[in-house]
Chain A
Amino acid sequence: MNLMAMFRRQRSAPVARERLQVLLAHERMAGSHSELLNQLREEILEVIAKHIKVDREKVNIKLDRGADVSTLEIDVEMPAAIPLVRARGAAAA
């Protein structure tokens, strides 16, 4: 066994405590709130899809649930030549 490791104090409990507090704060807002992020993701993608052909597999979605602030990051890869979805007005013309 590594001698240094033996003497170094392992303090994982405070980390466990903090992780739990953040997680449970989110889980306790059951129902509508927890669904909000999923709904936002879907609606934002729909809006993008109106204008650009989105390859679903090239959409990178990251979620970071923090104690006070959560971030939803939607990363859409856009090719150099953007295959635009025809605007409705133009299609009708």
Chain B
Amino acid sequence: MAKVLVVTSGKGGVGKTTSTAALGAALAQAGENVVVVDFDVGLRNLDLVMGAERRVVYDMINVIQGDAKLAQALIRDKRVDNLSLLPASQTRDKDALTNEGVAKIIEQLREKFDWIICDSPAGIEKGAMMAMRYADIAVVVTNPEVSSVRDSDRIIGMLDSKTLKAERDERMEKHLLLTRFDAGRAARGEMLKTEDVLEILSIPLLAIVPESVDVLNASNLGSPVTLNNPTSAAAKAYFDAARRLRGEQFEVSVPMQRKGFMGRLFGRRAVA
């Protein structure tokens, strides 16, 4: 049965869109039929991160308003056959995202795909509410930093009260994706530890994605990091996350930064 997954956070800039792209690609690389859906009306970026920005013809609002068929708006990835993108509108108003319209699209997508991954906009406005409304599973993207943790807590509260699952008294499956993590700084007491964030938010950990130049490179090139640099630590974290989402159970590994000789020399000294 198809699963609808929302990637959300409350706070902006924590890595929702790059995580949506990487998770979507990782699931597709594992053989699943995946569509990633951009809910950020007016500020769409998933197309850019996926490298499909020049191929957008129709968007979700066009489909909702009946100007295009869903199949016309879906963009199939050029690298992975079983990965598609449904872009958000760049020009229309958020109010065009109607409850019925979104419900109908999600219903149609459920028939075509195994995974429907909804990239939520930042904030708690309509777009974010629509992105989470029909979800079965939520991935809460959090940075080990006070404002991000606070906003995640707020979003977790909304996942448990403002979604269809919540209204039906069903349990929303929630996972924490810790991003931009720096193991060294956490060890030195400069950054919240994984255990701190987990204790405060009390939802299970999906994976820890290290702060990494590979993620930035992947965005620059318009290719999810799991495709662009599959052997990188960041890609490994997303592959692990995808395996867990598919039901595998195994220990979460804390990514350590690999350092060059100079880095090791000076890195040590700074720690002392």
Chain A positions within 8 Å of B, measured between CB atoms, are 6-7, 9-14, 16-17, 19-21, 23-24, 27-28, 30
Q: Is B71 an interface residue (CB 8 A)?
A: no
For residue B178, give the distance in angstroms from its CB to the closest CB of chain A: 14
CA distance A30 to B162 in the complex (A): 14
Set of chain B residues within 8 Å of A13, measured between Cβ atoms: 186, 189-193, 196
Q: A19-B146, A24-B153 are in contact. Are A9 and B189 (CB under 8 A)?
A: yes
Cβ of B149 under 8 Å from chain A: yes
Q: For the side of the interface on B, what is the size category?
A: 10 to 19
- Alpha-carbon distance A37/B37, docked complex (angstroms): 42
- Interfacial chain A residues near B104, Cβ < 8 Å: none
- Write the chain B residue with the least CB distance to A7: B272
- List 3 A-B pairs, minimum CB-CB distance, nearest first: A11-B189, A17-B196, A13-B189
Assuming the contacts A11-B190, A13-B191, asked whether A21 and B200 have C-beta atoms less than 8 A apart, the reply is yes
Partner of B192, one of A6, A16, A30: A16
Interface residue? B188 (CB, 8 A): yes
Residue B150 lies at the interface, judged by CB distance under 8 Å to chain A: yes
Give complex CA distance A17, B197 in Å.
8
Given contacts A9-B189, A13-B189, contact A24 B196 (CB under 8 A): no
Inter-chain contacts of A14 with B (CB < 8 A): 189
Task: Specify the chain A residue showing the minimal Cβ separation from B144.
Answer: A13
Q: Give the distance in Å from the alpha carbon of A36 to the alpha carbon of B189 in the complex.
A: 36
Contact A28 B157 (CB under 8 A): yes
Smallest CB separation, A8 vs chain B (Å): 11
Q: A12-B189, A27-B154 are in contact. List 16 more A-B contacts (CB 8 A).
A: A6-B270, A9-B188, A11-B188, A11-B189, A11-B190, A12-B190, A13-B189, A13-B191, A17-B196, A20-B149, A20-B150, A21-B200, A24-B153, A24-B200, A27-B150, A30-B157
Q: How far is the CB of A29 from chain B (nearest CB, A)?
A: 11
List 8 interface pairs A-B (beta carbons < 8 Å), by A numbering. A10-B190, A11-B188, A13-B189, A16-B196, A19-B146, A20-B146, A20-B149, A21-B200
A27 to B146, CA, bound (A): 14
Determine if A23 and B150 form an interchain contact, defined as CB atoms under 8 angstroms apart: yes
Could you tell me the distance between the alpha carbons of A91 and B251 in the complex, rounded to whole angstroms? 77
A77 to B196, CA, bound (A): 44
Contact between chains at A16 and B153 (CB < 8 Å) = no
A28 cross-chain contacts in B, Cβ below 8 A: 153, 157
Q: Complex formed: what's the CA distance from A59 to B134 in Å?
A: 48
Is the pair B188, A10 in contact by a Cβ cutoff of 8 Å? yes
> Which residues of the other chain, B, contact A12 by a CB distance below 8 angstroms?
189-190
Nearest chain A CB to B182 CB, angstrom units: 11
Do B157 and A16 have beta carbons less than 8 Å apart?
A: no
Least distance between B195 CB and chain A CB atoms (Å): 9
Q: Which of B111-169 contact A (CB under 8 A)?
A: 145-146, 149-150, 153-154, 157
CB distance from B267 to the nearest CB of A (A): 13
